[in-house]
Structures are given as structure tokens and as C-alpha cells.
């Protein structure tokens, strides 16, 4: 059996297991989607395990909710996380 590697980001809390990112729900995701849905709303990118924090290529709350995205962001990150 190969060595398995698990990391949890101190900045955004995302899990990475053997190079694949996972939401707290257990759903696999891409580094680009993590950047748009989590990293960009958690503040400092310094020290984040996701090297795609500056990309706009993945999913985002604006893409999911359009003009209403700011409403959910204003409610706080915990409220947004429940929609994933």
C-alpha cells in the first residue's frame, strides 16, 4: 500500500488527501473551485496549501448565485459553506 498523505489548511480549512481537495462534506473538488469558493473569502492567502488562490478559473459564489452572491457572503462564511 502506498503512503497516504492528508493535510488540512490552516488558512481556509480545506482538506487535501493524496493531492485531491475535499470539502467538509467529503465531496472531491478542484484547487480552482477551492480558490473561488473558500480561499478568496477567508482572508490571507499566505500559508495556504492551495497554490491556485489567485485564479478566477474555478467555481465561485458569484457564478452560483449571480447578483445575490454578496448577500450570502455578508451572512458569513459558515452560512455559505452550508450551500456546498
**CA 38, CA 73: separation in Å to the nearest integer?**
11
**CA 35, CA 40: separation in Å to the nearest integer?**
6
Q: In the prediction, which pLDDT does 84 show?
A: 47
Looking at per-residue pLDDT, the higher value among 19 and 53 belongs to 19
- C-alpha closest to that of 49 among 18, 78, 13, 73: 13
pTM recorded for the entire structure: 0.67
Percent of the chain, pLDDT > 70? 71
Q: In the prediction, which pLDDT does 72 show?
A: 58
For the chain, which residues make up each domain, given as ranges? 6-81
- What does the pLDDT look like over 23-55, one tens digit per residue? 888 999 999 999 888 887 776 667 788 888 777
Confidence of residue 69 (pLDDT cuts 50, 70, 90): low
Amino acid at each position: 500500500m502506498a503512503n497516504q498523505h492528508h493535510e488540512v489548511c490552516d488558512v481556509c480549512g480545506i482538506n487535501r488527501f493524496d493531492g485531491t481537495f475535499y470539502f467538509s462534506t467529503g465531496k472531491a473538488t478542484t484547487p480552482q473551485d477551492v480558490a473561488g469558493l473558500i480561499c478568496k473569502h477567508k482572508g490571507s492567502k499566505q500559508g495556504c496549501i492551495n497554490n491556485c488562490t489567485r485564479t478566477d478559473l474555478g467555481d465561485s459564489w458569484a457564478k452560483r448565485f449571480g447578483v445575490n452572491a454578496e448577500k450570502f457572503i455578508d451572512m458569513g462564511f459558515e452560512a455559505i459553506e452550508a450551500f456546498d
